[in-house]
Structure 1
Amino acid sequence: MGLYDGMDATEVGSSAQVAKALDIPVLLVINAHGMSRSAAAMEGGFVSYDPAVRIAGTLLNRVGSERHVAMLKRVLQRPVYGALPRNNDLEMKSRHLGLVMSFEKEYDLKALASFMEENAAIDDILKLSCATRQAKQEGANGERSVRIGIAQDEAFCFYYHENLRELERNGAELVFFSPLRDDLPAVDGLYIGGGYPELHAANLEAAPAREQINKASQEGMPIYGECGGLMYLGEGIQSDLGYHKMVGALPGSTIMTKKLQALGYVEAEVVGSNPVVEIGKIVRGHEFHYSRFDCDRDATFAYRLRRGKGILNCRDGLVEHNTLGGYLHTHFYSYAIDQFIQSCKSYKRG
């Protein structure tokens, strides 16, 4: 997604809208490979498209030589904060849902840091980021009333950081654990985010947490899974690596596909009882996946989508016992998370 790309043909949700709302400058990154004056036309287009967006300067990527950089600086109107030479050794790899994660060590982070320090004006860029007023950040609630397990490892790693902070702010103690390696910790609820469970399906199948989470679900523990979390909470995953059993807390199985199944913003109305959000609320987020989740047509869903695809017939948020799983990656700032906290408190009290 580019600077001005938002929901449909509007600016809603775009980086440009965020920059204007927060009154912060924009550093425009230009892929300068094979360009000279065309880079100036690109810069000019971005600057003039919406004058309310403060484009402070440019960072040139994939430049060819010092001569190339000098040529670009002559034609660009905004300050140039760096010029990154082409370097195939530092190219970041990607897969079907985006970049290879940093902890997979497919590239050298120290080498990347050195490369940036050598070729970009880091101090000047940092000064840009400090040029606006500092937002007041609300601290976390001091009382820790419930413990919520957060699945975090190679298989589950897609979280909005703000979601975790919002749980803490509402009184949750976050307990991070790995479904690949750890037993289920002593917690009052679970949050299983997105990731790549299909790449680790054999190990997830063999790990003790799988049956432990199933037992916790049967006993009514509030469990919330997003995308990869949905896949893990289902009965199994079918991929090129074969079929592997998963938790079995939700009725249905995941089929991996070569074709993109859904990508975009989602708006959902909560129409069914669930442990996370009250009926009647509106939930916003996004969906992005190369799988389908096969379940019965009479399955129980919490969400009716006003926008998006979901699991089945514009429905998402499959519910079983006190477990909720869906393809929707939600942002907790779009609705109050207190029902999830209350569900965890009720489970804790027994």
Structure 2
Amino acid sequence: MSSTTLFVRQDNLAATRLVTADEPALKDGEIRVQVDTFALTANNITYAALGDMLNYWHFYPTGEPGWGIVPVWGFGTVTASLHPDVELGERLYGYWPMGTQAVLSPQRANAAGFSDGAPHRAGLHAVYNHYLRTTTDPLYRADNEDVQALLRPLFITSWLIDDFLEDQQFFGAKRMLLSSASSKTAYGTAFQLAQREGIEVVGLTSPGNVAFCESLGCYDRVVTYDALGHLDSATPSVYIDFAGSVGLRQRVHGHFKGLNYSCSVGASHVGDLGGAGQLPGPRPVMFFAPAQVKKRHGDWGPQGLNDRLVAAWTRFSTAVSAGPQPWMVVQHHAGPEATQALFAAVLAGGGDPRAGHIATMLPS
């Protein structure tokens, strides 16, 4: 049997190639998982763009210098197991390579799931190393796997951003400015922020996405990037940057004299990434979701954190799927070549913000 994986040039994300190889023999304690379906969003482009800085390339090393595998969230099925606590046919939710299969080394297995104990992942954050059994996962529903793959990891980040800001009393600000407002992580954050009293939620986006952002109902105002200068500059504000655009960050910092905090989250504008040099106002700080998870584990305990997250996810996933015009329409892409083309399209940006892309590298 063979496996196929999409390799991406780490210094030129538009350069990709499909690599097919014989599947490796399992060692004692390992399992082989067929990667059934996964989501491909701007979030995965962020993983690639920040792969060196945040170690995303380290999860599934290629063994070829300069080439990487972009991790994706989705579902897989155990097809071979040399581990006593993982059975054939188990369905798992987790962090996979963009390929047809993954080999994992389960450790600390329990009823909920397990962690991958592969030596090369020992120093990587536990949130990304954990695999959940769908039979016991409180967020799992068999009839909406696509929505879970697309929005669950993004919404967890969104929920944690909102929780972090509330925990910091919004840095004394009354207005939240969200760039790339049509992106799923941005509107998940806006959905949470809209439930906060006394907070104005402003979406910044391109002209073509204004109508979509307004239709979501979670932004108090939607403003195009070229019109942000018309916003009052003195109101105490927080900038939540999902775009990663240097030029936009410079304009925001230059215009908003009342900017109390600058939070860097994503990198959807991959053509305009990098440092912004000396900026007026606060220094941008990268938001790292696992750090807030760790804090809330300490504050609330694992069950307290889980209960809050399940309740929030239920509200959000219902809102996304409801009504005559749902926030997201799922599109499916099957096969290695289709997935390669989809990656190029998502990297290029500018697609329909209402589209949610689910891919499989397995042949159609």
Which TM-score applies when normalising by structure 2? 0.29
**CA radius of gyration, larger in:** 1
Higher relative contact order (CA 8 A, sep 6+): 2
Which TM-score applies when normalising by structure 1? 0.30
More helix by share: 2
